[in-house]
Structure 1
Amino acid sequence: MNCFSPLHFWRLIPLALTVALVPASQASEYEYLSWKSDLYNGGRIYGKPPQCVDIPNDLKLCHNVGYNQMLLPNLLEHETMAEVKQQAGSWVPLVHKNCHPGTQVFLCSLFAPVCLERPIYPCRWLCEAVRDGCTPIMEAFGFPWPEMLTCHKFPQDDVCIAMSHANATEATKPTGYSPICPPCDNEMKTDAILEHMCASEFAFKAKIKEVKRENSDRKVILQKKKKALKLGTLRKKDLKKLVLYLKNGADCPCQQLDNLGNAYLIMGRKVDKQYLLTGIHKWDKSSKEFKKAMKKLKIHKCPAFETVFK
């Protein structure tokens, strides 16, 4: 197995990343600290010897994480790079939402673990901080925190991967974070529109008739006339009487819901018995980004969220 030793790795990693073999309470910026999991047994996992491989450029979640090689199989039982890329792709939009500064470090420690002689897992507190910061955004799109990332699985008092920015243990928002309701992110960027589309089961063009507060949610009542772009499992007869809910959106800003005169690209998905609003963008043909997104929708391949968030 051609893996770096801890010392060799420390010499090669960029200055933004620090490797240290010290207790988590004495963290530098990032720490890579040894902890042996039951997943590894005698240097082998899942019946295959772990190997160091280059992190490919199209592994977007981790291609700029601060190191160039990763262990495969990884710590989430993915044995092929194709599987790693398919599963990791579902998490890229969450990193873009900046829900916690440690999100990428936490995820990449599992999807693309650093090459050291023993497997190294993220600290439980880092998992909990990322979970607490990002779960509200995930829930806004109808996704729960997945079982595969249950935080009690990770070490608490042993050595582990840590990130010790100020307040990193808290679910605080990074500089520049906007409190806008996640589905209402009104940046008319092609990638943002496509991310909302991928997190949605259906999409259509429509105007809004009325918006009401209902407990911690906002109830969005649409006008009858709608132009379907993507129906998923939604039937056309359901489209006529469709009512959407902005999950936990009673108090966060959503500029689109303040202006009921415009037509919007409206996206949603069914969670339990509710239809959730997962994205809303002004239908603006004068916007180059919007036109580009509409064109890309026909060929864009979405990551398979349903295989990850269980």
Structure 2
Amino acid sequence: MAELKRQVSLTQAVTLALVLLTSASSAEEYDYYSWQSDNFHSGRFYAKQPQCVDIPADLRLCYNVGYKKMRLPNLLDHETMPEVKQQAGSWVPLLAKRCHADTQVFLCSLFAPVCLDRPIYPCRSLCEAVRDSCAPVMETYGFPWPEMLQCEKFPIDNDLCIPMQFSAGHATQTPVSKVCPPCDNELKADTIMEHYCASDFALKMKIKEAKKEKGDRKLIAAQKKKKVLKMGILRKKDLKKLTLYIKNGANCPCSQLDNLGSNFLIMGRKVDQQLLLMSIHKWDKKSKELKFAIKYIKSQQCPTYHSVFQ
């Protein structure tokens, strides 16, 4: 019991749920547990009972969430760890956007739920708070809030669901005047590689002009030769007259576009026949982080994601 309490550090609600739902004296008794004796849950039949497993270090979304073991299958009906890693990995870039302080708590309560005697879902208010803050960021990249995370599916606040950790006044970690999401990225190797793998294409290029168009920011590429790092869905004719957009980015700051004289590392994806910018960095030849990232992406294969925020 004490060991389980040390593992559960998300919320007082989860701790309370642990007290209410458990009475054993050691964590070993929770290696296997069930809430439906016939292994039938959420309309799906599982060949084996749910079990508690270690959260692996390469499950980056949830490895440092605050507890060490998770339920498998999880609350999104992912039955194997490779499936969890694949689906959860596509959400890692959203954490870097800091759209809400509880984003990791919310996502990991579903992708890597804490091991208890029954599943503990996020409260509807937690879902709504994260959705309201993060959905606009996701829309910038052309992703709607997914069906699997519709907040109406989750319980109304009570003692047996995971509530918000931060009050409304502390919900976001970014200032009111938010930087355009594709421009708000540190020049770090991990960040570059995550966006590279999540993008349809990546280029080293110059930008001729940046202007506002119907609430978006329109970037017109210079005609000079572009270096292709990842061709993806681009065609050769796309490269001749390349135009990218920052969705809803007409009025948000983007310091990279203040001076268009340098080369840029551009990563993006195609949505509804438009090329949307996912990430932009000035091409700093002296940056060790950039050099490492470029070397890595040339030699490593990206995991397969269904989408960035699947």
Q: What TM bracket, shorter-length normalisation? A: 0.7 to 0.9
Change (3 A) 1:232 1:32: farther
Partner of 1:99: 99
1-structure distance, mates of 2:174, 2:237:
45
Deviations 1:249-295 (A, max 9, x none): 11111111111111111121110121111111111211111111111
User: How do 1:64-75 and structure 2 match up within 5 A?
Assistant: 64-75=64-75
CA contact (8 A) 1:245 1:275 kept: yes
2:216 alignment counterpart:
217
Q: Does the C-alpha gap of structure 1 residues 177 and 86 become closer, same or farther in structure 2, counting only changes over 3 Å?
A: farther
Q: Which segment drifts farther, 212-221 or 177-186?
A: 177-186
| 1:298 alignment partner, SS class | helix
Q: Match for residue 165 of structure 2?
A: 164
C-alpha contact (below 8 Å) 1:216/1:248 kept by paired residues: yes
Q: 1-side partners of 2:219 and 2:15: how far apart?
A: 51
Q: Which residue of 2 aligns with 1:249?
A: 249
C-alpha distance in 2, partners of 1:222/1:276?
A: 13
Counterpart for residue 54 of structure 1: 54
Q: How does 1:130-145 map to 2 (within 5 A)?
A: 130-145=130-145
User: What corresponds to 1:188 in structure 2?
Assistant: 187
2:238 counterpart SS class: helix
Query: Alpha carbons of 1:238 and 1:15: their partners in 2 closer, same or farther (altered >3 Å)?
Result: closer
- Match of 2:178? 179
Output the CA distance in 1 between the equivalents of 2:258 and 2:156.
45
Structure 1 segments unaligned to the other structure (5+ residues): 1-6, 23-30
User: How many residues align structurally?
Assistant: 290
Superposed CA RMSD: 2.6
> In 1, Cα distance between the equivalents of 2:66 and 2:38?
25
User: Paired residue for 1:266?
Assistant: 266
Q: Which residue of 2 aligns with 1:198?
A: 197
Counterpart secondary structure, 1:87:
helix
Alignment of 1:12 with 2:6, yes or no, is yes
In structure 1, C-alpha distance between the alignment counterparts of 2:207 and 2:20, rounded to whole Å: 53
CA offsets per residue over residues 181-215 of structure 1, 9 Å max, x none? 11112522112222222231111121111111012
Query: Counterpart of 2:270 in 1: which secondary structure?
Result: strand
Deviation track 1:62-107 (CA, whole Å, cap 9, x = no partner) reads 1121111111111111111111112111112211221111111111
Q: CA deviation at 1:166?
A: 2.1
- Offset at residue 33 of structure 1 (A): 8.3
Q: After superposition, where does 1:23-62 map in structure 2 within 5 Å?
A: 41-42=36-37, 44=39, 45=41, 46-47=45-46, 48-62=48-62
The structure-2 alpha-carbon separation of the partners of 1:177 and 1:108, relative to structure 1 and needing over 3 Å to count, comes to: farther
Q: 1:193 & 1:236 partners in 2: Cα distance? A: 24
Tell whether the 8 Å contact from 2:97 to 2:184 is kept in structure 1 after alignment: no
Counterpart residue number, 1:25: none
For residues 185 and 307 of structure 2, what CA distance do their matches in structure 1 show?
A: 28
**1:113 positional shift:** 1.0
d(CA) in 1 for partners of 2:19, 2:88: 21
The answer (yes or no) to whether the contact 1:140–1:247 under 8 Å persists in 2 is yes
Residue 146 of structure 2 is aligned to residue 152 of structure 1: no
**Do the aligned residues in 2 keep the contact of 1:90 with 1:304 (CA within 8 Å)?**
no
**Structure 1 residues 163-187: Cα deviation after superposition (integer angstroms, max 9, x where no partner):** 232227x8x4226798221111252
Q: Is the 8 A contact 2:7 2:69 kept in 1?
A: no
Cα distance 1:229–1:267, how it changes in 2: closer, same or farther (>3 A)?
same
Kindly state the Cα deviation for residue 143 of structure 1 after the two structures are TM-superposed.
Answer: 2.0
Check conservation: 1:202, 1:232, Cα contact below 8 A: yes
Counterpart of 2:66 in structure 1: which amino acid?
A: G
Amino acid aligned to 1:166: S
Which runs of 5 or more residues in structure 2 are unaligned? 22-33
